[in-house]
Amino acid sequence: MAYDIQAVTRDGMVVRHGSEEQLWPLVDSVAATSAAGINRDAPPSAEQVAAEGLVEVRELSDGVVAWVDHNPSPHGDDLVRVLKLATSACRDTGRVLVIAGLIAVGPEDDYDSLPALGAAMIRLRVDQWLGLGVEGKALATQVGLEGSWAGESLWMEHAADAYDYMRAWGGEGDTVLISGHPFGEIPGLLELMGGSHQ
């Protein structure tokens, strides 16, 4: 299945035809507003982002909103872009929990190492980080090493444990962002939530 993908490069906006290797538009926090037709003077709402197909937005119990990133091969830069949108959409309403499986890092990324990505999570107002599965352990450890967090970075091996934690953690106005390659424990978590990783 092919998609028309909008991508943002350092040279400006380009449009290219893509496929499964890049499902959602590559946008940065500033370009996202114009790429998605969102007012730059106001943070995007969950409804605006979902309407543009960047992520799937789900209402959970107790007023918690889940953002599910369906990028089939997320890199650190991709996670940062989605997280910037999520934190800006819920800036004044609540806390942010990130549940992440495998997030790739490489020399072509702005966040090209685990330390760089871990430091970005702290700067982006992540209240709680949960690495999921063996594939999410290294980044969870690195996030915990960056800054002076006291338990704000956790690792859980199994989807069922992460699901129980997510349900107990959230409250009115809180946001959960779920991202990671579609294998390991991420599909199991989404299944428990009543959906699938597309």
pLDDT of residue 164: 95
Contact 134, 158 (CB under 8 A): no
Distance CA 112, CA 109 (A): 5
Residue 24 lies in a domain: no
The tens digit of pLDDT for each residue in 91-105 reads: 778 899 999 999 999
Per-residue pLDDT at 131 exceeds 90: yes
Band of residue 119 on the pLDDT scale cut at 50, 70, 90: confident
Split into its structural domains, the chain has a count of 1
The tens digit of pLDDT for each residue in 148-192 reads: 567 789 999 999 999 999 999 988 889 999 999 988 999 999 999
pLDDT of residue 183: 87
Domain encompassing residue 162: 54-192
Residue 187 lies in a domain: yes
Q: Count of CB atoms within 10 A of residue 91's CB?
A: 12
pLDDT of residue 55: 77
Give the percent of the chain with pLDDT over 90.
31
Q: Rounded to 10 degrees, what is the CA torsion of 54, 94, 31, 5?
A: -10
Residue 101 lies in a domain: yes
Per-residue pLDDT at 4 exceeds 60: no
Per-residue pLDDT at 14 exceeds 50: no
- Please give the residue that has the higher pLDDT: either 73 or 37: 73
Band of residue 49 on the pLDDT scale cut at 50, 70, 90: low
Q: Rounded to 10 degrees, what is the CA torsion of 9, 88, 44, 110?
A: 10
Distance CA 166, CA 111 (A): 26
Residue 107 lies in a domain: yes
- Kindly report the average pLDDT of the chain as a whole number: 75
Distance CA 67, CA 82 (A): 9
Residue 4 lies in a domain: no
Per-residue pLDDT at 63 exceeds 90: no
Distance CA 100, CA 178 (A): 6
Please report, for the domain that includes residue 145, its CATH number: 3.90.190.20
Per-residue pLDDT at 22 exceeds 70: no
Band of residue 15 on the pLDDT scale cut at 50, 70, 90: very low
Residue 147 lies in a domain: yes
pLDDT of residue 6: 34
User: Among the listed ranges 21-30, 57-66, 116-125, which one has the minimum average pLDDT value?
Assistant: 21-30
Residue 37 lies in a domain: no
Classified as helix, coil or strand, 148 is coil
Residue 65 lies in a domain: yes
pLDDT of residue 29: 35
Q: What is the DSSP string of 50-110?
A: HHTTSSEEEE-GGG-EEEE---SS-BHHHHHHHHHHHHHHTTTT--EEEEES--B--TTSS
